[in-house]
Amino acid sequence: MSNAHTSTGELDLPALAGRITRPLVLVGLMGVGKSTIGRRLANALSRSFVDADEEIERAADRSVSEIFEAHGEAYFRDGERRVIARLMEEGYGVIATGGGAFVDQETRALVLEKGLAIWLDCDLDTLVERTSRRDTRPLLKTGDPREILFNLKEQRGPAYSQAQIHVVTDDGPHEATVERILQELDAWQ
Ligand SMILES: Nc1ncnc2c1ncn2[C@@H]1O[C@H](COP(=O)(O)OP(=O)(O)OP(=O)(O)O)[C@@H](O)[C@H]1O
Ligand SMILES: O=C(O)C1=C[C@@H](O)[C@@H](O)[C@H](O)C1
Ligand SMILES: [Mg+2]
């Protein structure tokens, strides 16, 4: 995707990208759009992108579901903490985390110190609808997805709210969310 797909109004994207010296780290609940928006945000800023869930899968040579099934959530969280620490060192422009990563105290402290955390947030109905499209999220297979997402939203809100930037997404196109993030970054940097 080229910058032409993002209607950035008055924004000078190369200048904005030049001012951003830390990795941009997308945090928030499952289905909020960290992976899909993160990729587009990196494109808009001509920066590199990495998805932490994909990196964990690559390192373990197993899917997230398989890791949960074979070793349990605590084992997954250990790997996730290590992988994100490595990605923070490797100079990526934009990092999409898994939904639980920023809840870990150590990961959160590292991201807040060395990166710029962007909390993507949206309403429960939208999350339920978006996460119903794929069967790849082990935490949603243990009961009613709406109830699980509702509880996670409550539990994780205090952690997510520590992100430096908060953007609420809606049903509009991905590009509209990217543009909102760019506007917030411009105001922040
Ligand atoms: N702003 C948006 N508008 C419309 N659809 C969206 C938007 N953001 C995400 N989606 C859709 O929602 C689904 C989930 O998005 P995505 O995989 O990016 O979420 P995620 O936050 O990375 O989730 P996870 O934490 O499970 O990795 C995808 O089908 C994606 O296209
Ligand atoms: O919210 C979570 O805890 C998770 C979100 C996904 O991105 C994966 O990291 C995994 O399914 C766990
Ligand atoms: Mg994702």
Are the CB atoms for 45 and 20 separated by under 8 Å? yes
Q: What is the pLDDT of residue 170?
A: 86
Which residues are bridge partners to 117 per DSSP?
25
- Read off the pLDDT of residues 59-85 as tens digits, 9 standing for 90 and up: 999 999 999 999 999 999 999 999 999
Q: What is the pLDDT of residue 9?
A: 66
- Read off the pLDDT of residues 117-136 as tens digits, 9 standing for 90 and up: 999 999 999 999 999 998 88
Which residues are bridge partners to 50 per DSSP?
95
Contacts of 29 (CB under 8 A, 6+ apart): 99, 121, 127, 149, 152, 153, 156, 160
- Read off the pLDDT of residues 27-59 as tens digits, 9 standing for 90 and up: 999 999 999 999 999 999 999 999 999 999 999
Q: Given ligand 2 and candidates 25, 30, 57, 77, which is best to mutate, with the most ligand atoms within 8 Å of its CB? A: 30
The response to whether 36 counts as a known ligand-binding position is yes
Is the CB–ligand 2 distance for residue 56 below 6 Å?
Answer: no
The C-alpha atoms of residue 6 and residue 2 are separated, in whole angstroms, by 8
Identify the structural domains of the chain with CATH numbers, from first to last.
Answer: 18-117+126-188 (3.40.50.300)
